[in-house]
Structure 1
């Protein structure tokens, strides 16, 4: 097996490309406060908000969560995200972004708070695409009421945060706690891992993360695949991300390569490969969500492009995939 190298720069065992997303690499320094706004947004709300409130940590979140909240977490932010990430409410994004000025540090904490809500509540509620839709609306309101840089800075921090959390569950590089065959997977932890993975796919569907991050996540799952849980999260991410990933100019090669690796990896899994002991056998799990047929259908409806020559992104030479 090839030597494992860090993700995000140079060569990776998961993908034969360098990820060039904007995550963590902005045109302006993230250490500089981008703007100051005195804009007052007239909003009607059903609860009092204090932007200077101290950190609010509900005990039910701590009980079910695996990660602490960001150091700077005003109660007002939590109230807004509590509602906005579960149901669409157009009054909440402009209400949230009025708590400026927004420094890079505050934008980083807000991005982490989006992830923390997913991690903390995964065993309490089922998140749908509304969580990513809310993040998109927050991004758009940052652009409207502050600046393009504030908006892009928030997105960059969000991209970095979700990938870090994804890697903490699925990537074995220097990670003793990765989901693997070494120990039984607790149902609570599985729910959290699945929810953060689906959140990434939803963010892609709303154009908040780049295709390269989706490629990297799917590449990690294909490389690390040892269980029916890995199969399920690949299937869920493909379905939640939607057709866009398979309708680009290079999608013909991407599709063929992904299907080849997916079929190869799943064919090597034994039927008793569940890490929780509660899942369907592997063949039934694959048949239940026929993502290959779904991908082929999406690809067939793509615009006509001239297919360029592309390098592998689902695996690289020297890998036992």
Structure 2
């Protein structure tokens, strides 16, 4: 048995030691229930800490619903602008709201758009064009400087990342440039309208107000990336913390509270908003330090390397090694007897 203990110790040492109990993300906790029939297709969500701002999928006019922490509508911000297919929502520190009119299920749009809503409710239209054809895009994230990034909904699990090639024109169009990809692996988290296939489809994005973290979500899971240096593109190539969001009927909304709590929501009247406390801090603890090494050996239960390879906790690997060793040792004894 001594050799098995030694092997387990080596594995634990190589992988950075046992994963601390606090490393695993908490399970989502219900916060409130979306009962207002006007928000039956919740698709985008942001938080300022005391209120939520929410949008529906699609629509024939700009509508942003301002909610209390009890999910009750306090007011509605409107504009006569008729969007094509709004899918996501972001908010910059100056209070501007950015509606991502980028849905294109049929891949037939010549342009997509960002709708910029001032704190006073005035909307400016910014048309955008892709450099390589049409894409269906449901996720918008913002970096610390306020640069928007669009992340496509790709059936192969390799989402494309685009950003404007220059300052946004109004009405535009402004050319987009492809600046990267994000790989999403299939998971066994239950939920969504299309089974396990939905676990690779990016349906929403979120950004911390201070730019320190961003998140992407699928129908079933959230992926949180620390952005310690403000470089979103570099962050999206690092190992994210995967947070399962099981049981969401059609999960498309994701947001951060200012304290780093992750908030998720689904389409459908009567669906809850749920929170995962400490999500941004967990990602920060797993981010590389200045020497290029992870600040922590833990990256959350079931984390992915962004390329689809699950990262197992070190303790789990050690148990597996001991188990396999014992199995081999027992078989060897039986053969000798």
TMscore range, shorter length? under 0.3
Higher helix share: 1
TM-score for the superposition, normalised by structure 1? 0.25
Q: Which has the higher strand share?
A: 2
What is the TM-score with the length of structure 2 in the denominator? 0.24
Structure with bigger RCO (C-alpha 8 Å, 6+ apart) = 1
- Structure with higher Rg: it is 2
